[in-house]
Amino acid sequence: MSSFKRKGSAKQAPGLPGTSLSPATSLTTITSTGIPSLDDILGGGLPLSCSLLIAAPDLHTSYGDLVQKYFIAQGLVSQHSLLIVDDNAEFFMRDIMWSPSGRGSTTPDQDEDEKIGQQEDQKIKIAWRYEKMKPFQTTVPVSSSSLTDEYCHNFDLGSRVPTSVIDQAFQSGRLSFINVQSSGSGPVSISEVLNRIRDALKCGAPQPIRICIPALGSPSWGELRQEEILYFLHSLRAILRQHPTVCASISLAPHLTTEAWGGRGWLQKLGWVTDAALTLAAFSADPSLTMTFPNHHGFLHIHTLPAPHSIIPPSDKFSALRGLSASAGGLGGSGENNLTFKSTRKRLIFETLHLDIEGGVGERRTTPSAATTVPGETHDLLHESPGTNKTPGFATVQVVLENPELSKTVHDATDGGDKGTEKPEGKPKKPKKRVAFRADRPDLYDF
C-alpha cells in the first residue's frame, strides 16, 4: 500500500459557525468584525483568542462605538455568544445596526454616494485604450458570495436590530451583560471585572464567544490610572489565550486615547498589551483637513496587528488596502498606503487615501476683502435704475477719463517750478485712465 497521501486544502471550513481559516496558516481560525474593509486590514479577520483595541480620540464623534456595534451585529447574525461589559449594555444593544431585509441578507443596492461617484468616474475618459482597464478602487469590494456565506454580512446603518432578535439571544443564553458598578454607589475594581469575565467563560459554550467592551475607562469605571488600564488589557489577553474560541474587541474612552493623558508613547504601550491596536483620528478636530479631504472623515493609524502562529502579521502579505504585498517584489518595497475611513448613510468604509481628479481642488475662487480701498482715490457712485438686477459677487466697473487740463497742471508742478521755460510741443499725450468702483460693492481686483 502506498504511503502517499493527498494534501488537504487549507481552505476547508472549520466546524465553528461564522468563522474561517486564516489565509496565512490553517492553525489560526479567524472571525469577521462585520466590516469587510477592516477584515482586510487585519489580514482576513480577527483571530480567535486575540484582542482588538480601537482608539477614537475625538470627543465629538463615536466611531469607536460604531466599530463595536458592527462587531456585535456580526455576532448576532453568526449565532455567537456575546458578552458585553458595560453598565448601559441593554441600551447599547438597542442601537445596533441590522440588515433591512432580514437576517443574513444583503441589499444589492449600493449607497447613493457611491453610485454618484461611479457615474462621475465613468463620464471622464482619457483615451479609448483605457476603456478595458479595471476602474480605480479605493476599498475592498463587497463580495457577491456574501449572500450565501455566513462569514461576513452587510449591515445598513439606517436599520436597527429587531427587539425579538435580542430577546431570543438573551433567553437562549447567548447574550449576557457584566456591570462595572457594584450594588452600591462606587464602581468595582479592575480585578473584580476580570474575575467576572473568567466566571462567564467557564460555561464552555460550543460556539465562539465575543467579548465587547464599548467604553473602557468611561466615568462608570471610576478614576483609572495608566497602570490599571495596562494591567486590565494584559490580563484580558492572558484570559483569551486560555480559551481558543473567544475573541475580544475593546474601545477606549476618548479622553484616554491621547498622549496628553497617558504620557509619551502611550499608544505604543497599548499596542504591546493587545494583539491589534488601531486609532481612528477624525477630521472634526481640524477644519483644514476637512476642507482638504472632503470625501473622508478621518485617518486610520495602525499600531499593532495580530500575528498568531507566525512571526509577521498575515496582513503584510494578504491585505489589499495596505499595499505591502504589491510592493514586496521591489527593492525594499514602496511603503504602506495611507488609510482613511468614511461613514456614509449605509455603512462604514475603510479605504486608501486619494485625491480627486482635479487634484484635490474643486474650484478656484478669489474672495476680496470687504475693506479693500485705494488710497488717494475717490470712489464714484454709480446710480442704477430701479429695474436693474443686482447680482452679488460681481463688481460694477466704470472707466472715466481725467480732465486734460488738470493732468497738465500736475505735470508742470512736478518739473521743479520752471514756469518761464517753455517746452516744445511734441506728440500730444493720451489722457490717463482711472478705474472707479461702487462704494457699496468694494470688490477690487488687480488688472
Entry pTM: 0.72
Q: What is the pLDDT of residue 279?
A: 95
**Count of beta carbons in the 10 Å neighbourhood of residue 84:** 20
Q: What is the pLDDT of residue 188?
A: 82
CB hemisphere CA count around 404 (13 angstroms): 4
Positions of the chain with pLDDT lower than 70, given as ranges: 1-14, 101-137, 142-149, 182-185, 325-335, 355-427, 431-447
129 DSSP assignment: G
Apex 95 CA angle, 94 and 96, nearest 5: 95
Query: CA 261 to CA 176: how far, in whole Å?
Result: 32
Phi, psi of 99 (to 5 degrees): -85, 130
Q: What is the pLDDT of residue 353?
A: 86
Query: CA 4 to CA 2: how far, in whole Å?
Result: 5
Q: What is the CA radius of gyration of the chain?
A: 33
Nearest to 268 by CA among 230, 223, 313, 216: 230
Q: What is the pLDDT of residue 364?
A: 44
Burial pattern 182-205, b for ≥16 Cβ within 10 A else e, equals eeeeebbebeebbebbeebbeeeb
Nearest to 246 by CA among 25, 63, 75, 94: 75
Strands 276-282 and 246-252: unpaired
Query: CA 135 to CA 141: how far, in whole Å?
Result: 12
Q: Please write the tens of the pLDDT for every residue from 121-174.
A: 455 555 555 566 656 567 777 654 444 457 888 899 999 999 999 999 999 989
Nearest to 57 by CA among 305, 262, 206: 262
Sign of the dihedral through C-alpha 21, 24, 27, 29: negative
SS3 84: strand
Q: What is the pLDDT of residue 360?
A: 46
Give the relative orientation of helices 63-77 and 163-171 as an angle to the nearest 10 degrees.
70
Apex 118 CA angle, 115 and 120, nearest 5: 110
**Count of beta carbons in the 10 Å neighbourhood of residue 117:** 15
Apex 152 CA angle, 148 and 156, nearest 5: 100
Alpha carbon distances (Å) from 282 to 25, 59, 73, 279, 298: 34, 10, 23, 9, 4
